Structure 1
Amino acid sequence: MARKVIVAAAAFAVLILSFLLPSGGCKFYPSRLSICDLCKPRCQDEGNDSGFCDARKNCICVDCSKHDRGKFISSSTFSVGGHRWCIRYYPDGDGLDSADRISIFLQHDDTDAVDAKARFRFSVLNEIGEPGPLPFIQNGQLNTFSAKNRCWGSNKFVERKALEESACLKDDALRVRCNVTVAKDIRCTEATEQFVVVPPSNMHRQFGRLLQAGEGADVTFEVAGEMFAAHRCVLAARSPVFMAELFGPMREKAMSYAAVSGSSSAIVAEAVTGSHVLKIEGYSRTKGIGNGEFIESSTFALGGHLWLIRYYPHGCGSDNAGWISFFLELEHSDATSVKASSKFCLLDEMGEPAPSHSRHSSVIRTFKASVPSWGYERFIEKKALEESTYLKDDCFRVRCDVTISKEFRAEDTARFVTVPPSDMHQHLARLLSSGAESDVTFRVGEETFAAHRVVLAARSPVFMAELFGPMKEKHKTSRPIQISDMEPGVFGAMLHFIYTDSLPEAAVDTGDASVSVMAQHVLVAADRYGLERLKLICEDKLCGYISTGTAATTLALAEQHGCRGLKEACFRFLRSPGNLKTIMGSDGFQHLTSSCPSLLSELLANVAP
């Protein structure tokens, strides 16, 4: 029997709202606020006669039509969790007691929708888009947005004087971010869990801290009487001018420019693109249903519409009895016709599409009430799937990519400058590969690796202690630093991550078995040198390689190196009938019992029915 879990689903979104404030000190002055008959009983029950509901939490209901409120400006609407929302901004507060404050509220903008339960957080952003020094408002409880109470928020969000004196107000404009989490249905569904969450790259913060601390600085600049300490190799990696000034002769680069006058425009075909991964657990058991019968996935939201995937284990018709069929279906009951294209692809263990089992049509289909679904009657032969490596432990995964066509329009191309994404990792990768001005060498086995002390120290607290801390005297000599208990390929992969925040392709594309082994060794190295993100990347990768042949050794590895997500993934695998019994006679299980004897009781407690 397939394992079921109770899932409380939620949709989450972040909206950044920019306000261009009216110049000349223009103000909105609110009228007198009185308590209406609708709100008075609830306010009095809470010991509050002010007319503000739940005032102790700075959250109020402002949608009662009998309130004579302050004036507000509404944002554009946005969609979260299948509902429409907007933000109300009160420049001079929403009432007399908040006249010196800015009030802000989240409004449920679906007039005919059912009630929505949501929590929110408002924060003022600084110049770089991060929450500034001003206080933020976070509502931890779920609020019910209904026809009577459509708005919740803060009538005392920020003091206007504090805002005007802060750096968050620049060029007479401020930005407010609203994080919204909408609670959806609670349902029983197949368990598909994400055991490890890999955080985004923080390389820029680590180098920022190195610059601020000045540790290991080896060059100083004087600018208008002020001194700035920096690191030669970082400057050279990021700037060709600094490379020439600090490590070589200045080299002029010839550049030619052509001046062209005129105007331009563009035809814009707007589209929303997203994907949904469907995991079929217990494939052999789904074969019990007949030809033409299907199993539906959970619904997912994309482009303001709800969708689901239909899975036909024995084909969608008598002509396709030896095949597996997949269809994308529009589930929005009151939606007009939707134009979209879809692509279905079988995923390998790494989560990458299998080119030989991908079905894509460039034709834009119209999904409507009379024709709600489109798909592929012959996605893959059952025999081909069952003989392939994509079916593992009676499971396989399919990804559906959906592109929803929006409106077509003509517009002037008014964007004159395109800022490219950060290329710091490419700069540092070239610095590593070139070996230019390296100042430390490592000996691993029979191989030697050249690197830069400040880069290693910025990325690893262990290297910081070894190269610039109490242990630095030990490594001041020009002789290579000997690294024991590590393979050269593992150290090279770790060094590549330190400079680029990613693993080299060779570490992930060398075959199924070797990928798992490499990930295990790199995880141990990451734990040794305090590279937490690299450790989580390896942990997440190993979650996809758990089998009866690897579960015991993987569980021992997770226990020894504090990998909670990987440990839970192993427990989840061993709860399946027969898996624990299969591994108990293996050498890996003997290693587990000898290396982690305390883990046995926890294992039995987690896998017991």
Structure 2
Amino acid sequence: MATTAPNVVDGDCGGTPPSRSASTIIAARTLHVLTIDGYSDTLKSNVDPSQHLLHSSPFSAGGHTWCIHYCPIGSTEESKDFISIYLVLEDTTADVVSAHVTFSLLDQQGNPVPSHTLTTPLLKFSLQGTLPKGLGYNSFIRRDDLERSGHLKDDCFAIGVHVVVTKEAIPSSITVPPSDMHLHYGDLLSSEERYATDVEFLVGGETFAAHRLVLAARSPVFMVELFGPMKESTTVNKIQIFDMEAQVFRVLLKFIYIDMLPEMDQEDEAAMAQHLLVAADKYGLHRLKMICVEILSNHIDANSVATILVLADKHHCYGLREACIDFLNSSAILSAIVNTSDFQYLIQSCPDILEDISFNIVARQLERAIFLSENQEGQINSVEIGIRSFPFNVGGRSWYICCHPHGKNNISKDFISIYLVLHDDIAEAAMVQATFSLLDQHGKPVPSHSRVTRLVQNFIAKDDLEKSGHVQNNCFAIGVHVVITKEVPPPPPPIVVVPPSSDMHLHYGDLLSSKRCTDVEFLVGGVTLAVHRLVVAVRSPVFVAEHFGPMKEGANVNDVVDINDMDAQAFKALLNFIYMDTLLEMDQEEDTTMAQHLLVAADKYSQERLKVICEERLSNHVDADSVATLLVLTDKHNCRRLNKACIEFFSSPTAMAKIIETDEFQYLTQSCPNILEDIISNIVACQLEKAIFSPENEGGKINKVDIRIRPEPWQNSNARCG
């Protein structure tokens, strides 16, 4: 459905969006269901829309009171055929509230109807000033659409109103370090202890010790070889590899463990990339393969192009193959290498490539030529395409379209290939650009299958076409937009190969969720969780000691280890972090509670990065209700960064007055009396700073202050501060 612009109530149409640079966090989510029982009765009032405006009962969301305004005949002349609906702030407070809302027509099962679901942008609400007090849609749904929809039953229907209240996050002074997951696995490979190695590879006379689980997690081929039906014998732990050099296998192994390549000079990098591309294709390492393609695409020259082109063809690197063919786009370059042994090997091993090279040269020469007669720019001819179309005229020249339904060669055999071909024999060359588009049933181009180019060898995969829905009655159409120009266009942009970002965490996440190859179980809060000893040991020195050190919990497969000081949800989140180095997204309340549990777990299992992440998240949620509890945590678990944020929160006398009355603060004074001295020192320092830099102290009269604090009932009577 078309996008509908939201409308505000009692305010400017655009409202006031939060600053683009402000960071927001979700404070609360609330779903309120508005049920209209007696829909027809709501239409019977007089024609004044204001008489039809119905108010829901007030409800709470994010600590504020709201209600829903519903107008069944629209709230304006333009929306008279629609239902209008708004979320309105009913608070008496002058506070500014940031929120956005999703209105959804609900089906009979209470689920949102996607075609009648609208979400507003994030806006600020207030009962004061010029800010809007409400936000919604004048034209939420046409009444006749509602009545025909099947969601109006017995004169009753429902609208779901999902309110998300946000607040601006205070910038945290705590900096979370970057992921160190790759370093942990790098240490596992390079450390002198080499604990838990269970397989060796003999490559080029050298022996490499490794870990079956790491190899299997990162490579689907190793997973099958080491743990599948065709696995190597478990009694023979030395596997010979004959088709690779030792130096190449060493780099391959390092990439598997740390997801990056070592630094090399330019010449070594290009040579190594050729070998690694073959290895990456063999072991199903897609990211490594794309990294090698990127490296090689930057090293294409007359000496290397033939070799790289053979590699690209044999290992299905279509982008690299096209980059090589583009490099061979002139007769001069081709003449320089045509007699070399590498090129001779190329045409013997990949004969189809020669045809593509020749076609590419002709097409480039055609593009660079200038059409000398009058330009007929913008003329579009519709041509019915068979295998070869009838000739047609564009720009005073005759053309035809050639379509290969089974591809032009072996490389494109699973695709449809399509070309624009100059048909006439006029001597003047023509400059042409063609846009090939698969057309839908209405004759409109399908954006995902439109290409602007001189030729399209891999226009669309045949199975993609058959599944697209655009083949009807065994027929489909391709639109060809031909543009003739007088000026030589710029050369096509270079082929840029961008390797995907690191997917190491996804591989280990799959290992956790699939439960393949697990060898130990944890019993936590009545829930049994199967994991891998090696993975938890790699990421935690505590788990190393427990499972591979002198204090290890037995060595039998499927041992069960009891965890008595943590609930199951927190331990699941800990495992997710150990395997993937990330935390799941949660709303504010869940996030705060989980971060407290995980901080304790991170300290127990020496997960320093997780500990910092928890400190950073909790520092964004320090308030009068939580600060005392957080201070107890910081004291017990040595969280200096979070401790500082909590102590600074006490610098406000208003905050201090609220906090000292709470039970949590009483517990804080009893369990961590030393924190009181830090709090008082911080308050005194803040007061002293304000006094020294106040306008009344322009002459510097205040440079030393003697401050005495009367002990309160909660304060240790021996406390002193001056």
Higher normalized contact order (CA 8 Å, seq sep 6+, divided by chain length): 1
Normalised by the length of structure 1, the TM-score is 0.42
Q: Which is richer in strand?
A: 1
The structure with the largest alpha-carbon Rg is 2
Normalised by the length of structure 2, the TM-score is 0.36
